[in-house]
């Protein structure tokens, strides 16, 4: 499944620090896929992706795809933002319960109601992707 894309103006206000491990996540997001890690022994998903399993401390993880679908659990609107985010204020952030059982904090586009079905979207900035969620269209 390819995630919908939303064009964003300018560069990312706070670009991610990309490591050898997280590069796989950011490359997949740039391709329109939401992925994370799953412990090979525990079989449990984690988000954000980790190079180990926090459930059993296993050192072997595998990358798995996520649907990007879920429900909005909570949200807040931030009006007083750091300077880097000034051009995007006010910003709505929230917590989404993904269909796969993970709880993810992210940017929320629009004004979906609590418990509304939402989908992950790629936020296409000039210097690379971020992700957010919006009500399913």
Distance from C-alpha of 2 to C-alpha of 24, rounded to nearest angstrom: 16
Position with higher pLDDT, 57 vs 137: 57
Q: Which two tokens stand for residue 27?
A: 């490359």
Q: What is the extent of the structural domain holding 38?
A: 5-11+18-135
| Residues 46-74, mean pLDDT to the nearest whole number | 97
| Residues 25-49, mean pLDDT to the nearest whole number | 97
* pLDDT exceeds cutoff 90 at 1: no
Give the number of domains in the chain: 1
Contact 131, 123 (CB under 8 A): yes
Contact 36, 47 (CB under 8 A): yes
> pTM for the full model?
0.93
Quick check: helix, strand or coil at residue 29? Answer: helix
Q: How confident is the model at residue 137 (pLDDT cuts 50, 70, 90)?
A: confident
- Residue-level pLDDT at 61: 97
Condensed to tens digits (0 to 9), the pLDDT of residues 65-83 reads 999 999 999 999 999 999 9
Condensed to tens digits (0 to 9), the pLDDT of residues 115-133 reads 999 999 999 999 999 999 9
């Amino acid at each position: 499944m390819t995630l919908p894309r939303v064009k964003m103006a300018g560069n990312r206000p706070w670009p991610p620090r990309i490591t050898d491990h997280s590069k796989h996540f950011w490359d997949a997001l740039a391709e329109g896929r939401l992925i994370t890690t799953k412990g090979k022994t525990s079989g449990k998903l984690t988000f954000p992706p980790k190079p180990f399993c926090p459930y059993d401390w296993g050192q072997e993880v595998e990358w798995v795809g996520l649907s990007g679908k879920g429900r909005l659990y909570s949200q807040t609107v931030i009006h007083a933002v750091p300077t880097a985010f000034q051009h995007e204020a006010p910003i709505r952030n929230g917590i989404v319960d993904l269909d796969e059982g993970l709880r993810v904090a992210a940017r929320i586009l629009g004004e979906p109601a609590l418990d509304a079905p939402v989908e992950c979207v790629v936020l296409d900035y000039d210097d690379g992707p971020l992700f957010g969620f919006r009500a399913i269209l």
